[in-house]
Structure 1
Amino acid sequence: MTNLKVDPTRWNEKEKWEGTGIFIRAQFDDETWEVVEISHLDKASLLAWLKSKGGDNRLAENCIGVLLGHGHLHEDKSVSNQRPFGLARGEFEVPDDFDREVVWGDEE
Structure 2
Amino acid sequence: MPLPRLTRLREILLTRLNDLTRLRVSLLTRLNDLTRLRVSLLTHLKDLTRLREILLTRLKDLARLRETLLTRFKDLARLREILLTRLKDLARLRETLLTRFKDLARLRVN
- What TM-score does the superposition give when structure 2 sets the normalisation length? 0.18
Larger radius of gyration: 2
| Structure number with higher strand proportion | 1
| Structure number with higher helix proportion | 2
Greater length-normalized contact order (CA 8 Å, ≥ 6 residues apart): 1
